[in-house]
Amino acid sequence: MTINNPESVERAKKIKLFLMDVDGVLTDGKMYYIPGKGAEMVEFKAFHSLDGIGLRLVNQFGILTGVITGRESPGTEERARNLGMGYAYQGFLSKLEPLRQILADTGLKEENVAYMGDDWTDIPVLKRAGLACAPGNAQEEVKAVSHLVTAKGGGMGAVREVCDFILKSQGHWDTMMGYVENAHWPPIKKDPMKIVRESEQGGKK
């Protein structure tokens, strides 16, 4: 991991919400299509298990999670639900409005938000986030505005690196290692998920 900002640990201590893009962050950015019923094509995405465990752990320590993505996908929605995420905003190429809505809903401030993105559409949110993060294979312009750049690429455990960094910064690492040593994990918390699809909001961007 490359730390671009020396205050990153202090920034991470304030994080109460971890939001992220999907394609190129939770996935490697590839999209797979196979024939469905009739002429319908079905899109598939691949998610990494390392990221899933990391997101469940930060949730366990009271950090909300969610996605803001420019595409709408049933697979994304299901993955978010399985991981106990609180928010799934889909179809939003412009991601500032979802951020505003989520902050209003939670009562949190921008400094309490970690955001991870890989492409230009993520830059406006990254510039406002308390902890801005990019996968190792993100666009160079995205890396330039990020506090952290992971060693791993999107869909290959990059999100897990950020989860681990936050847990260590907030002093939860020893507690988590205690779970590992004792082979005793607390029940997984699942927050009620707010699902917002841009296509259902009158086509507004």
Mean pLDDT of 30-49: 82
For residue 190, what pLDDT is reported? 65
pTM over the 0.75 mark: yes
Contact indicator for 138, 149 with CB cutoff of 8 Å? yes
Residue type at 89 in one-letter notation: Y
Give the single-character DSSP code of 189. P
Map tokens 């002093």 to a residue.
171
- The bridge status of strand 41-44 relative to strand 32-35 is antiparallel
Give domain limits for the chain.
2-107+119-129+136-198
Cα–Cα distance between 111 and 104 in angstroms, integer? 14
3 state SS of 53: helix
| Fold category of 2-107+119-129+136-198 in CATH | Rossmann fold (3.40.50)
Contact indicator for 113, 130 with CB cutoff of 8 Å? yes
For residue 202, what pLDDT is reported? 53
For residue 89, what pLDDT is reported? 95
